[in-house]
Structure formats: C-alpha cells, structure tokens
Amino acid sequence: MFKVHRETITLTTSKQFQLIDITKDVEEIVRKSNIKDGICIVFAPHATGAIIANENEMGLLDDIITFIKELIQPDRGWKHNRIDDNAHAHIGSAIISSERIFPVVDGRLARGTWQNIFFVEMDGPRPYRSIIVMVLGSS
Amino acid sequence: MFKVHRETITLTTSKQFQLIDITKDVEEIVRKSNIKDGICIVFAPHATGAIIANENEMGLLDDIITFIKELIQPDRGWKHNRIDDNAHAHIGSAIISSERIFPVVDGRLARGTWQNIFFVEMDGPRPYRSIIVMVLGSS
Amino acid sequence: MFKVHRETITLTTSKQFQLIDITKDVEEIVRKSNIKDGICIVFAPHATGAIIANENEMGLLDDIITFIKELIQPDRGWKHNRIDDNAHAHIGSAIISSERIFPVVDGRLARGTWQNIFFVEMDGPRPYRSIIVMVLGSS
C-alpha cells in the first residue's frame, strides 16, 4: 500500500560555513515510516543552505568547506550584496541544490558506506534551520 | 490513493544566458493535481539548460549568471565546439542538473520563502524550451 | 496501482576519471518495471562517483572530464589526503550529486534527445561500482 511519511528536523548553526551531519535523524525517520520500498527526499527549504551526501571525516569536511568558499567567493562584490550580504550563499544553494534523494530498500536508507548526509550552512550562524524529510513508498 | 499528475510548461528564451521564473506555473500545476502529500519533480529534457531554486532578486539573478559563465567558460576552446558551439551549456547542464525535487505538503509546494524555481538557459535564444512537471503522491 | 521496481547495475572502471554511459541499462529496467507513469531514480551508493545526464559525444566527454578535474583539483594538498588520496573525488561526488531523477511517461524514460545517463568515475580504476535504479509509479 502506498504511503507518505514526513517529519521535519530542526537545527542551529554556529558558524558562517558549517557541515552538520543529519544521517542518524534521517535514518530514524525512515525507520519510523515503516515504508519498505521507496524513496526518501531530504529537502532544506532554505535558499542559503544545501544538502550533500559524503564521508564524515574531519579533514574532508574542512576540504569541502574550503572548496565551497573558493567556488562562491563570500568576499566578492556580488550585486545582491547591495541589499544583503549573502549572495555567495544563495549561489552555493542554487548550484549545489537544497535536496538529495535516496532509495529506501527493505525499510532502510540505501546509502553507501561513506555517504553520510549533511546540511551545508553557508550563511550562518542561524538559530533555526529546518530540513523536511519525506519518505514515499510501499509498506 | 496514489496518483500521478503531469503537465508540460513551454517557454521561449531571448538571451544566451537567462533565468526564467516558473514558480507560479509549477504551483498552479501542484494545485490542479489535487495531490495532498507527495513530491513534485521539475525536469527540463534539455542538455543545455538546468533547473535551480533560489531568490528572485534582480541583482542576485545577475550574480548567478556571472557565476555560471565564469564557471563554464563559453569562450574557451572546448573540444565539443569543433562540431557545435555550446560545450559550455552542456557542461553547465550536466553539473547543475536539469531537475529539482520539492515536497508537496497539504496540497502545496513546500518551498522556502526565497526558493523560487528557475529554468536556466545557457544556450539561448531558443524558440522552444519545455519543462515537465510531475506530481506524485496521495490525494 | 502503485508499484516499486528496483534493480542494480554493476560496472568496472578502468581509468581515474571516466564517464560510463548507462542509458540503455536504465531504459531496459524502466521497460521491465511495467510502470507507466512515475519517476526513475538513478543512484550511485558511492562517495567518490556521481551521476549526470548529457550528450554522448566524444569531444564533450573529454570536456566534462577536463572541467571536473580543474574544478576538484586531484593534485592539490587536500586535508583528506593525509589519510587517503581521493579527496578530489569526494568533493566532486558531494557537489555534482550521486543521483539524478527522470520522469517516466507512458512506460518510457522521459529524457531529452541529448540526455544520456552517465556514471562519473573520479577515483578509478575500480573493479566494482554499483548503481541502484528504482522506478516508482503506477502500472
């Protein structure tokens, strides 16, 4: 039988650029959904953040932040910064995307061993970020 | 009950690089679908365009186009340009992706306040671009 | 009636950077699913590979690899390389994304003429790469 299960993860960020591992929260939501086969969408309703999947290794997390900063250039005189100060974060969110999708197989998130799920903060610190996790499929 | 609703948006582009806001069209399709909980996929069947979600602020739209142009380098001697002249647009479409997915919650597209949906033209002007909008879920 | 169909494509890669066209395999899986309207997710459970859609033209494939290499800089002293040698591939996978989604319309993958589907190897050669193809929809 077709089923949709949805929950929202909320979090606080403490730095301008930060990667927050939400894998356990997402996996718990998939378990609670009781959906056996389907997909799980992890969606940040934010235009200055993104969602990625990759390895939770401290050096790599620094590398990813270094890479993103160099790519989107927070200190450049972007036009949007005439009315705000976060053009870089909007560009990063647009390009990297604010969602990732995963298959759900036998009731579990079918991610690779090194694919942890992260919220990418690019305009922090922020007291409130939310991530919608939706599981669709058959129970 | 599980349901799939699909419509196609068509548009014309007038510049080589252009961002076209299709948010209202997508939201109207979600409303017409009568699907209450599910997902909406916005998919461009084009290898030289992309779909992104971000804020519709004039300065930012210029920034995003400036960013993409610098990234994919339209004037570089890409190999594909031996037989065509749009390698940059193919590269941009491959990397940025020609689709974005959104949750549908209580019959509405669950996007953030600053997440408008855009078709990214990188090889215009074009008389005909189409975007498939598909809503899947339970009514 | 709602249905989920899933299969896994396996492949071998022979170079550090390589684009492998999996379009025919994905289309065959969509056909076998007997799903008429829905979506198809193409997901690589790998943190050093990605999935993209674009044209299978030899010059362009070289261009895409050149572009990705320059972007993620395999020879740079990334921090993750203190414990491994593939930080660039992790960064590429995180940013490009390890999945793409396509509509399924009238039992066929609704891709554009120039949208072939590729696995992007960024840390090869590898004896074993797998790609999960899941089709969801109504039959």
pLDDT, tens digit, for every residue of A68-106? 999 999 999 999 999 999 999 999 999 999 999 999 999
C136 and A39 within 8 Å at the Cβ level: the answer is yes
Does the CB of A35 have a partner CB in chain B at under 8 Å? no
Average pLDDT over residues A36-57: 98
A79 and B97 within 8 Å at the Cβ level: the answer is no
Does the CB of A26 have a partner CB in chain B at under 8 Å? no
pLDDT at A90: 98
A105 and C6 within 8 Å at the Cβ level: the answer is yes
Closest C-chain CA to A70:
C71
The band of C51, judged by pLDDT with boundaries at 50, 70 and 90, is: very high
A81: DSSP letter: G
Rounded Cα–Cα distance for residues C129 and C44 (Å) = 8
The band of A20, judged by pLDDT with boundaries at 50, 70 and 90, is: very high
Average pLDDT over residues C30-47: 98
pLDDT at C93: 98
Chain C hits for A59, Cβ within 8 Å:
78-83, 87
User: Using one digit for the tens of pLDDT, what is the confidence trace for B99-119?
Assistant: 999 999 999 999 999 999 999
Does the CB of A85 have a partner CB in chain B at under 8 Å? no
pLDDT at C98: 98
User: Using one digit for the tens of pLDDT, what is the confidence trace for C78-137?
Assistant: 999 999 999 999 999 999 999 999 999 999 999 999 999 999 999 999 999 999 999 999
Q: Report the b/e string of B40-71 with b at 16+ CB within 10 A.
A: bbbbbbbbbbbbbbbbebebbbebbbebbbeb
Average pLDDT over residues A3-20: 98
Does the CB of C23 have a partner CB in chain B at under 8 Å? no
pLDDT at C13: 98
Domains by residue range for chain B, with CATH: 2-138 (2.60.120.460)
The band of B133, judged by pLDDT with boundaries at 50, 70 and 90, is: very high
Q: How many residues does chain B have?
A: 139
Subunits adjacent to chain B (3 or more Cβ pairs under 8 Å): A, C
**Mean pLDDT score of chain A, rounded to an integer?**
98
Neighbours of A124 (CB within 10 A): 18
Chain B hits for A2, Cβ within 8 Å:
1-2, 138
pLDDT at A130: 98
pLDDT at B113: 96
B–C interface: beta-carbon pairs under 8 A: 96
A114: DSSP letter: T
A100 and C101 within 8 Å at the Cβ level: the answer is no
pLDDT at C29: 98
Average pLDDT over residues A106-119: 97
**Mean pLDDT score of chain C, rounded to an integer?**
98
CA angle C43, C45, C47 (to 5 degrees): 115
pLDDT at A60: 98
* B39 CB-near residues (< 8 Å, 6+ apart): A41, A134, A136, B101, B102, B103, B104, B135, B136, B137
The band of A29, judged by pLDDT with boundaries at 50, 70 and 90, is: very high
Does the CB of B52 have a partner CB in chain C at under 8 Å? no
| 3-state helix, strand and coil shares in percent for chain C, rounded to the nearest 5 | 30, 40, 30
pTM of the model: 0.98
Q: Give the up-direction half-sphere exposure of residue C62: CA atoms within 13 A in the CB hemisphere.
A: 8
The band of C36, judged by pLDDT with boundaries at 50, 70 and 90, is: very high
Neighbours of A51 (CB within 10 A): 24
**Minimal Cβ distance to A45: which of B68, B115, B136:** B115
The band of B71, judged by pLDDT with boundaries at 50, 70 and 90, is: very high
Chain C hits for A95, Cβ within 8 Å:
95
The band of B45, judged by pLDDT with boundaries at 50, 70 and 90, is: very high
**Minimal Cβ distance to A54: which of C3, C83, C90:** C90
ipTM: 0.98
pLDDT at B91: 98
